[in-house]
Amino acid sequence: MSLRKPPLRDVHAGLGATFTEFGGWDMPVEFDSIKTEHAAVREEAGIFDVSHMGEIEVAGPDAEELMQRLTTNDVTNLGPGDSHYSMITDEDGTIIDDTVVYRLSEHVNAEFLFVPNAGHDEEAYDRWTGYRDEWDLDAEVKNVTENFAMFAVQGPDAPDLVAEAADEQVTDLSKFEGKFVAFAGEECWTARTGYTGEDGFEIIPPAEYAETVWNLFDCQPCGLGARDTLRMEHGFLLSGQDFDPDENPRNPYEAGVGWTVKLDTEFVGRDALEQVSEEGPDEEFVGIKLVDRGVPRHGYEVTDPDGETIGEVTSGTMSPTLDEPIALGYVPTEYAEAGTKVRVVVRGQSKKAKIANVRFLSDDR
Amino acid sequence: MSFQVPDDRKYLESHEWADADGDNVRVGITDFAQDELGDVVFVELPGEGDAVEQGEEFGVVESIKAVSDLYSPVSGTVTAVNDALEDQPELVNDDPFGDGWMLEVELDGDGGRDELLSADEYSEQIE
Provide the β-strand partners of residue A248: A244
Instruction: Check if B84 contacts A (Cβ < 8 Å).
Output: no
CA distance A305 to A102: 45
Q: What is the DSSP string of A324-365?
A: EEEEEEEEEGGG-STT-EEEEEETTEEEEEEEE-SSGGG---
Q: In the A/B pair of chains, how many CB contacts fall below 8 A?
A: 37
Burial bucket for residue A26 (CB in 10 Å: 0-12, 13-18, 19+): middle
CA distance A175 to B109: 67
Strand order in the sheet with B40-44: B40-44, B57-63, B67-71
For residue B88, what is the nearest residue in chain A, using CA coordinates?
A: A323
Q: Mind telling me how many Å the CA of A34 is from chain B's nearest CA?
A: 7
Domain ranges of chain B: 24-118
Q: Mind telling me how many Å the CA of A348 is from chain B's nearest CA?
A: 13
B contacts of A16 (beta carbons < 8 Å): 1
pLDDT of residue A365: 38
Greatest alpha-carbon span in chain B: 38
Greatest alpha-carbon span in chain A: 63
The candidate with the shortest Cα–Cα distance to A342, out of A287, A281, A280, is: A287
DSSP state of A75: G
A contacts of B62 (beta carbons < 8 Å): 294-295, 318
Number of residues in chain A: 365
Q: Are A122 and A143 in contact (CB under 8 A)?
A: yes
The candidate with the shortest Cα–Cα distance to A342, out of A354, A334, A330, is: A354
DSSP state of A112: E
pLDDT band at B2 (very low <50, low <70, confident <90, very high): confident
* pTM (2 d.p.): 0.94
Amino acid at A124: A
Q: Mind telling me how many Å the CA of A345 is from chain B's nearest CA?
A: 15
A contacts of B1 (beta carbons < 8 Å): 16
Residue A152's H or E segment, with its range, is strand A151-154
Burial bucket for residue A61 (CB in 10 Å: 0-12, 13-18, 19+): exposed
B contacts of A29 (beta carbons < 8 Å): 65
Residues 44-63 of B with CB under 8 A from A: 44, 60, 62
> What domains can be seen in chain A, in order of their start residue?
9-51+148-233 (3.30.1360.120), 56-139 (3.30.70.1400), 282-362 (2.40.30.110)
Q: What is the DSSP string of chain B?
A: ------TTEEE-TTSEEEESSSSEEEEEE-HHHHHHH-SEEEEE---TT-EE-TTSEEEEEEESS-EEEEE-SS-EEEEEE-THHHH-TTHHHH-TTTTT--EEEEESTTTTGGGSBPHHHHHHHH-
Contact between B67 and A297 using a beta-carbon 8 Å cutoff: yes
Instruction: Check if B8 contacts A (Cβ < 8 Å).
Output: no
Instruction: Check if A316 contacts B (Cβ < 8 Å).
Output: no
Provide the β-strand partners of residue A150: none
Question: pLDDT 10s per residue in chain A (365 long)?
Answer: 689 999 999 999 999 999 999 999 999 999 999 999 999 999 999 999 999 999 999 999 999 999 999 999 999 999 999 999 999 999 999 999 999 999 997 666 689 999 999 999 999 999 999 999 999 999 999 999 999 999 999 999 999 999 999 999 999 999 999 999 999 999 999 999 999 999 999 999 999 999 999 999 999 999 999 999 999 999 999 999 999 999 999 999 999 999 999 999 999 999 999 999 999 999 999 999 999 999 999 999 999 999 999 999 999 999 999 999 999 999 999 999 999 999 999 999 999 999 999 999 985 43
DSSP state of A282: S
Q: Mind telling me how many Å the CA of A315 is from chain B's nearest CA?
A: 12
Q: What is the DSSP string of A172-222?
A: T--TTBEEEEEETTEEEEEES--SSSSSEEEEE-BGGGHHHHHTT--SEEE
Question: Over the stretch B41-89, which tens digit does the pLDDT of each residue have?
Answer: 999 999 999 999 999 999 999 999 899 999 999 999 999 999 999 999 9
Q: Which of A229, A293, A294 sits opposite B64 (nearest CB)?
A: A229
For residue B126, CA distances in Å to A66, B31, B67, B118 come to: 54, 11, 20, 13
For residue A247, CA distances in Å to A215, A231, A298, A314, A335 come to: 40, 21, 13, 11, 22
Provide the β-strand partners of residue A30: A18
Backbone region of residue A346 per phi and psi (left: phi > 0; alpha: psi in -120 to 50; beta: other values): beta
Q: Mind telling me how many Å the CA of B39 is from chain A's nearest CA?
A: 7
The complex scores an ipTM of: 0.86
Q: Mind telling me how many Å the CA of B20 is from chain A's nearest CA?
A: 31
Contact between B64 and A294 using a beta-carbon 8 Å cutoff: no
Instruction: Check if B39 contacts A (Cβ < 8 Å).
Output: yes
Instruction: Check if A39 contacts B (Cβ < 8 Å).
Output: no
Backbone region of residue A16 per phi and psi (left: phi > 0; alpha: psi in -120 to 50; beta: other values): left
Question: Over the stretch B3-42, which tens digit does the pLDDT of each residue have?
Answer: 999 999 999 999 999 999 999 999 999 999 999 999 999 9
For residue B38, what is the nearest residue in chain A, using CA coordinates?
A: A33
Q: Are A66 and A139 in contact (CB under 8 A)?
A: yes
Q: Are A129 and A32 in contact (CB under 8 A)?
A: no
CA distance B75 to B13: 15
Whether domain B24-118 has CATH 2.40.50.100: yes
Instruction: Check if A299 contacts B (Cβ < 8 Å).
Output: no
Residues 6+ apart with CB under 8 A from A97: A87, A88, A116, A117, A120, A123, A124, A239
Instruction: Check if A35 contacts B (Cβ < 8 Å).
Output: yes
